[in-house]
Amino acid sequence: MNLFSIGISHHTASVEVREKMWLSEAEAREILPRLREQYFSECMLVSTCNRTELYGMILPGTTVTERELTEFLIGFKKADPEVQPQHFTACEAGAAVHQIFRVAAGTDSMVLGDIQILNQVKEAFGLAREVGATGPVMNRLMQATLHVGKRVRSETGICEGAVSVSYAAVELASKIFSDLSKKSALLIGAGETGELTLKHLVGKGIGGVRIANRTREKAETLAAAFSGTVVDYDSIADTVAAVDIVITSVTGPTFVLGPEELHRVMRKRANAPLFIIDIGVPRNVDPASRKIENVFLYDIDSLNTVIDRNLDRRKAEIPKVTAILHEETEDFFDWYNSLQVTPTIKDLRDAFENIRTQEVQKNIQRFRAEDRELLDIVTKQIVNKLLHQPMTVLRAGSASNNGRDETLLRVHTVRELFGIGRRVKGADDGA
């Protein structure tokens, strides 16, 4: 199988290197037709913050090296000398199929069980199809890849449980308040983690959000993004009394909230539950506040405990995911093998017929005119007898559910022996 993959990821390069190879939508639209014209009969690109990977079917009859493709990609991004060939890894055939399946399943992500990557793969395929870079094999591969992602998410727990500070905070809030749509939240500070926590809360349908920040302009920007309300930083305690969830993300040497303020707040709230997520470093809320009835205070350490527990649960699901990937890889090659057997038989017959024709024409003058027709008939019969056994074996393997690996090996061997198509030099072998 002449499927080939090459890419750079968090496994092989730092973020400073990876970002040099990130492709915007406009760049992907530009490079895909060029890749198809020069190297591939069909191809697609997946480019995210953690990876840029190219998948393609090498053009029949051509030979492409890893280095050639690597230099092409680096050159397109003008990323030399920061990005070097050693930052890339390549694989071929079954290994390439398995790689795209692992990406879609979230087992190759920086965050195990990443739930966003499947949609990113889907969007990447949609773009490749839109610019005319895909074909029958890539279309089928992407159909199988999306099916893998959906199976993994529905049949395993690899994506369950928060594994980021921001999402862990929201997961805990959901356990304390069963219906977030009837609750409101206050974000104190406008740091990145606080903003992500607010984003997740809004995604979970929080009833309303208020934002307080020392720099009011930044608070107004966040409020506009999340349909929130800006409140004065100096009147935080009054606002805390009016909300159900407080997220603190402030950098400073002193506590933003302590037991005295929270005692007053709880009296104003008639002791209604208050959920506080302190993601500040140093901490923004005095730990003694935990002693106050109905004040649920969680800091970074508390959230990391939740994250570690969830990661352990995700890791325990890896064997189930691996079984799905193996099954889906075999199913894909069942389809591909059936696709390859017929053209391989035709190519093999054509190769033998070309040799027969050339030799007959080269030696035709050595035979009498009345024997030349017989020469043509006899040589055709010889070719047919020579081809009968290999063609029978190829067809039989294609029809057998148990012969997928054997069939692929036979197809590959025939193509190698008789020079039918070329492979990429330097890539890892796969099934």
Q: Same domain, yes or no, for 23 and 135?
A: yes
3-state per-residue secondary structure call for the chain: CCEEEEEEECCCCCHHHHHHHCCCHHHHHHHHHHHHHHCEEEEEEEECCCEEEEEEEECCCCCCEHHHHHHHHHHHHCCCCCCCHHHCEEEECHHHHHHHHHHHHCCCCCCCCCCCHHHHHHHHHHHHHHCCCCCHHHHHHHHHHHHHHHHHHHHCCCCCCCCCHHHHHHHHHHHHCCCHHHCEEEEECCCHHHHHHHHHHHHCCCCEEEEECCCHHHHHHHHHHCCCEECCHHHHHHHHCCCCEEEECCCCCCCCECHHHHHHHHHHCCCCCEEEEECCCCCCECHHHHHCCCEEEEEHHHHHHHHHHHHHHHHHCHHHHHHHHHHHHHHHHHHHHHHHHHHHHHHHHHHHHHHHHHHHHHHHHHCCHHHHHHHHHHHHHHHHHHHHHHHHHHHHHHHCCCCHHHHHHHHHHHHHHCCCCCCCECCECCC
- Mark whether 49 is an active-site residue: yes
Number of compact structural domains in the chain: 3
Q: pLDDT band at residue 431, thresholds of 50, 70 and 90?
A: very low
- Does residue 307 lie within any of the structural domains? yes
The stretch 93-111 carries a mean pLDDT of 94
Query: For 325, how many CA atoms within 13 A lie in the half-sphere containing its CB?
Result: 21
Predicted local distance difference test score (pLDDT) of residue 211: 95
Q: Same domain, yes or no, for 301 and 355?
A: no
Residue 429: is its pLDDT beyond 70? no
Q: Same domain, yes or no, for 79 and 201?
A: no
Q: Same domain, yes or no, for 9 and 134?
A: yes
201 with 174: CB under 8 angstroms?
no
What CATH number corresponds to the domain at position 52? 3.30.460.30
- Does residue 364 lie within any of the structural domains? yes
**Which residue among the candidates 43, 49, 91, 159 is catalytic per the annotation?**
49
- Domain, as residue range, for 238: 165-313
- Considering only residues 26 and 235, tell me which one the structure prediction assigns the higher pLDDT: 26
Q: Same domain, yes or no, for 238 and 346?
A: no
Of 85-89, 242-246, 362-366, 390-394, the range with the lowest mean pLDDT is 390-394
- Does residue 49 lie within any of the structural domains? yes
- Does residue 424 lie within any of the structural domains? no
Q: pLDDT band at residue 228, thresholds of 50, 70 and 90?
A: very high
Residue 91: is its pLDDT beyond 90? yes
- Does residue 320 lie within any of the structural domains? no
What CATH number corresponds to the domain at position 279? 3.40.50.720
Predicted local distance difference test score (pLDDT) of residue 111: 87
The stretch 22-31 carries a mean pLDDT of 96
* Average per-residue pLDDT for the chain: 89
The stretch 291-314 carries a mean pLDDT of 92
Q: pLDDT band at residue 427, thresholds of 50, 70 and 90?
A: very low
Predicted local distance difference test score (pLDDT) of residue 148: 97
Predicted local distance difference test score (pLDDT) of residue 391: 83
- Does residue 426 lie within any of the structural domains? no
- Does residue 125 lie within any of the structural domains? yes
- Considering only residues 293 and 195, tell me which one the structure prediction assigns the higher pLDDT: 293
List pLDDT tens digits, range 326-374: 999 989 988 887 777 878 888 888 989 999 999 999 999 999 888 889 9
Residue 424: is its pLDDT beyond 90? no
Q: Give the predicted TM-score (pTM) of the model.
A: 0.70
Q: Same domain, yes or no, for 137 and 221?
A: no
Q: pLDDT band at residue 59, thresholds of 50, 70 and 90?
A: confident
